[in-house]
Structure 1
Amino acid sequence: MSKAYVFTRNGGPEVEALVDQDTPVPGPGELLVAVRAAGVNPVDWKLRAGYTRPGSEPQPFPTVLGSEAAGVVEAVGPGVEGFAPGDEVFGNPVTGGYAEHTLLPVSVTAHKPAGLPFADAAVLPVAAATAYDGVRQLGLAPGATLLVTGAGGGVGTAAVQLARHAGVRVIGAASAAKKDFVESLGAVHVASGPGLADRVRAAAPDGVDAVFDLVGGDTLREVAPLLSDPATLISAGGKPLAVELGGAAVERARNAAVLDEVARLVVSGVLRTFVTRTFPLAGAGEALRAVESGHALGKIVIEVTA
């Protein structure tokens, strides 16, 4: 048996529970991994609330929460090559990361570098990889100006760092409480909320060349007109609205090569993960509330005791 933090139906926090379940068995192309750490992301509570990823099949209840994890391989499924029991890995689980054991598909699993702590590796498959894909998709030249909304969150923090590393000037929209943090990343901070577009214009009088949106909704609608070319708008926070406004969703690569690259960037010091709080598996609900509140700074991680 293995402990896991699940939701038993769609709804609010009241549908979550820590349960004992059968340890999953790896199928073809899968790894059974003893989880050491799991990243916590907004998509986790959105899936619990009833959001369905486009093209995905409805999951049976109970469903284990968690979209990214790092741990140690305990067994490999049929046809698996390049991985063996004892390997330290990280990736996107198919059976949820908030658990003592999960299954990782080899297609989106990478070997964890020896110098990378499990907690840091666990926040790369969703947040850092999304940021990497988005910055690469925009392909901005050095000296260009990029607006990142939600710059103080997990994806935003990584996007700011990656864009700055590429020589791009970044305007980071975040709450006033995150001003010092956003500026420490090398971005020009502007306060989020009503009137954001005017504040961006004041911070970038020559205009912005692209927008990397991580918020959606009214924020996305307000900043979209800042662009002369709507095609330079991408979003991971309001994908359908971005398309409606002439932009695009972030095109996710979802492969091991991207995971290898973001891990390399962390180990080399280019990218910092900013894991700001950790919780035990028994505290997974509290961890998720911290993210669901919208006020989390950096990344929050659930650490699972071996």
Structure 2
Amino acid sequence: MKAAAISTFGPPNVLQVMDFDKPHAGAGQIRVKVKAAGIQPFDLAVRSSGWVPPGMEIRYPQILGNEFAGIIDQVGEMVTDFSIGNEVLGWALLACYAEYVVVNVDQIVHKPKNMSWEEAGALTASGQTAHTALQELGVNKGDTILIHAAAGGVGTFAVQLAKAWGATVIGTASKRNHEYLRKLGAIPVTYGDDLANRVRALAPNGVDVAFDAAGDDALLESLELVENKERIGTIVAFNLAEELCVRPIRSKRSVTRLTELVDLYSQGKLQIHIRKTFPLHKAADAHREIESGHGRGKVVLTIG
């Protein structure tokens, strides 16, 4: 099979299409012919700096990607809830920029018929990260939440989930993304100097929760606005989070969490914004697109 992989860490051009043996499903597993695979900052960190995800091992040549959607073409023993031909979406760490992926059945759910392949390939990682974060921060009806980098991949999901759970959302973004955030249901605010005062003007009764998907500066601004440090969290500034005694948040994926996201999509309460798609052989260009910064929604590889 063809897959986009790296033989060393470095700039985007180290990501190349290579030949690999086609994997086979074992007991309790299924094999999926991949149609789409989302791209995450997670993937860029592995490629660019040699970062090794906790509990993982990098073995060159290393396939990248950790979310996918496709059609089951092989079913292992002891699998009863899925069949060949089923359309599914799910996750598999460091495996998804490929024509085929093998996963356990507790890593997939059925794809809704009205969900496009690109949308399905882009939901799992960012959607579950956003869901995990808001759950850990205890977002509830009546809360006011500040979401940093609200127009990005994770931020787009976080805005919509917070709204679905009854919160008022203020989202930081560049001016050109303000109308996009309004359509998602957020109150937009420009990031940068004096952000805290701009937010206070929008939330005279205060901010209850802050979720950072941007970095150190955003986390520091959050401390000025949210009194309870247990309700300030970050998915990027882990070192600073430890120093400031706020929550470092890492995605906790589960079929239950993914099923809730898919249900919200089916109910029309969750949009999946696709910024741009690239074919598998242009995976390096897809990484460059994300590194350009300030984009809306997700970048996706189309495969097969």
Q: Secondary structure at the match of 1:252?
A: coil
TM-score by length of 2: 0.93
Corresponding position of 1:45 = 44
Contact 1:92 1:105 in 2 (8 A): no
RMSD: 1.7
Corresponding position of 1:151 = 150
Q: Secondary structure at the match of 1:83?
A: coil
Corresponding position of 2:238 = 239
CA distance in 1 between counterparts of 2:93 and 2:155 reads: 25
Contact 1:142 1:167 in 2 (8 A): yes
Amino acid at match of 2:72: V
Contact 2:13 2:284 in 1 (8 A): no
Contact 2:148 2:173 in 1 (8 A): yes
Task: Give the percent of matched residue pairs that are identical in Structure 1 and Structure 2.
Answer: 38
Deviations along 1:141-178, whole A, 9 cap, x unmatched? 32221000010011101111111122211110112221
CA distance in 2 between counterparts of 1:183 and 1:157 reads: 11
Alignment of 1:1-306 (within 5 A): 2-49=1-48, 50-54=50-54, 56-250=55-249, 252-305=251-304
Amino acid at match of 2:51: Y
Contact 1:137 1:251 in 2 (8 A): no
CA distance in 1 between counterparts of 2:25 and 2:235 reads: 31
Q: Secondary structure at the match of 1:123?
A: helix
Q: Secondary structure at the match of 2:4?
A: strand
Deviations along 1:43-100, whole A, 9 cap, x unmatched? 111111222222x232201111211000011113344342222111111124521111
Unaligned runs of 5+ in 1: none
Please state how far the C-alpha of 1:198 moved relative to its aligned partner.
2.6
Amino acid at match of 1:130: T
Runs of 4+ in 1 over 6 A off after TM superposition: none
Aligned residues: 303
Contact 2:52 2:58 in 1 (8 A): no
CA distance in 2 between counterparts of 1:150 and 1:105 reads: 33
Amino acid at match of 2:53: R
Contact 1:94 1:103 in 2 (8 A): no
CA distance in 2 between counterparts of 1:12 and 1:195 reads: 34
| Greater Cα offset, 182-191 or 24-33 | 24-33
Contact 2:173 2:191 in 1 (8 A): yes
Deviations along 1:221-245, whole A, 9 cap, x unmatched? 2322321111101221223432432
Q: Secondary structure at the match of 2:101?
A: strand
| Greater Cα offset, 105-114 or 117-126 | 105-114
Please state how far the C-alpha of 1:201 moved relative to its aligned partner.
2.2
Please state how far the C-alpha of 1:35 moved relative to its aligned partner.
0.3
TM-score by length of 1: 0.93
Contact 1:95 1:102 in 2 (8 A): no
CA distance in 1 between counterparts of 2:214 and 2:241 reads: 11
Contact 1:69 1:90 in 2 (8 A): yes
